[in-house]
Amino acid sequence: METMRQVESPEGLLSIWPSLTPKEQSSLLHLLQGVSDPLYWMQHCTKTKDEQDVLNPYKPFPNRPYFKDLHEAWEKEAVLFIEKSRTLLCTWWGAAECLHLAMRRPATRVLLMAQDEDRSLVPLDYCWTLWEQQDAPFRQIWPLDRPREKQCYNVMELKNESSIMALPGKEPSKIRGFHPTVIFMDETASMDSFGEAFDIAVATRVPKIVCVSSADISEYENLIKTAEPVDWYA
């Protein structure tokens, strides 16, 4: 961290680089890449939690090629619909993207929505796990506003004035008052008020809307059934 405080510009990094040991250079590169690259941070700097693995529950994101595609879609698309299965870790991925953005960019407001309160708290709990499990230097760079036990149960607040809130899908009108930078909706096929929530998010010009769900007959399915394949790499 002392080295990190000295690096206030590219010129500052160049000035101290020759004096660093190979281990210090490697650590600094790891830190800089984790700060600048959300996917690198997910796979090398923090851990998810597998409740079914009693012996080794905390693990990095697996190095699966589709995570690169998901991240590129997150970067390119203002509105993103994703059909998933449980084994794809899409909710973990979405929580990680939201958290990294909130940590990296001050005053970011993230809204996590699902059918009811219990399910909306799941991706928020993922955010807490990812923050707590990240390497110590990142927790120092991106501190909490106050300890978890002193924060509201449905909100995560960071020192940089970013916040992440869990909101039940049955209360879509509250989107207007929260003024979110990002809305992440989980298991939208199960959300009775998904159509209303999505309409409000679009009408209030939320910059990024990400909807993730298992496939099922629903308002969500009606929106995506006419989608056509495109050449992503064209």
DSSP for 89-147, written as a single string: THHHHHHHHHHHHHHHSTT-EEEEEESSHHHHHHHHHHHHHHHHHS-HHHHHHS-BSS-
60: which 2 tokens? 């990095």
Residue 149 backbone dihedrals phi, psi, to 5 degrees: -65, -15
- The dihedral built from the CA positions of residue 133, 108, 206 and 154, taken in this order, carries a sign that is positive
The pLDDT assigned to 82 comes to 87
Higher pLDDT, 7 or 198: 198
Residue 151 has pLDDT above 80, yes or no: yes
Residue 158 has pLDDT above 70, yes or no: yes
pLDDT tens digits for 32-51? Answer: 899 999 999 999 999 999 88
**What span, in angstroms and rounded, lies between the C-alpha atoms of 184 and 213?**
11
Per mean pLDDT, which range of 34-48, 57-71, 74-88, 157-171 is the poorest?
Answer: 74-88
Which residues on adjacent β-strands are paired with residue 113? 167, 185
Find how far residue 112's CA is from the centre of its chain. Answer: 10
pTM of this prediction? 0.87
The pLDDT assigned to 171 comes to 85
User: Which DSSP letter does residue 218 get?
Assistant: S
Residue 8 has pLDDT above 60, yes or no: no
Residue 58 has pLDDT above 60, yes or no: yes
